[in-house]
Amino acid sequence: MTATITTAGQEHRCLRPGCGRKLTSEASVRAGYGPVCLRKIRAAALEEARKDFTDEQQAKATELIRDGGIVPTPRRGVFQAVSSKGDATYLVHACGCNCPGGLRAKRPCYHTLAARILGIASRRSLAKAA
């Protein structure tokens, strides 16, 4: 049984511009978007996050995530990442990393991209991003 969630007689509708469909699940109402729109928004956010990184950095970030080499810390948005050699760990956030490459390079390191990807993937609501 699917019913439109209402608050004081108000219907909830998708916040994505051009959509405006009724939101029928509690999870969609909390997120502010239906599942299809949420996927589209996340895909656009991932594309935006990847645009400043080389193909090599993107491949390394994907590998780091796939291998479990980056894990969240108790601090929100902060991760601990393993070096490519596996002999050191670094603190990383979507804004930067304390690895040698992240500290001295003109372009963010691949650890930073991995943190951005994980941050986007873990967001429950992207209402503020739209």
**Which tens digit of pLDDT belongs to each residue from 102-129?**
888 788 899 999 999 998 887 654 444 4
> What was the pLDDT predicted at 9?
63
Pairwise CA distance, residues 30 & 74, whole Å: 24
pLDDT in tens, 36-65: 998 998 899 999 989 989 999 999 999 999
Residue 7 confidence (pLDDT): 54
Q: At what angle do helices 55-66 and 110-122 cross, to 10 degrees?
A: 60
Instruction: Decide: helix, strand or coil at residue 113.
Output: helix
Residue 81 contacts residue 97 (beta carbons within 8 Å): yes
- At residue 58, what is the residue type? Q
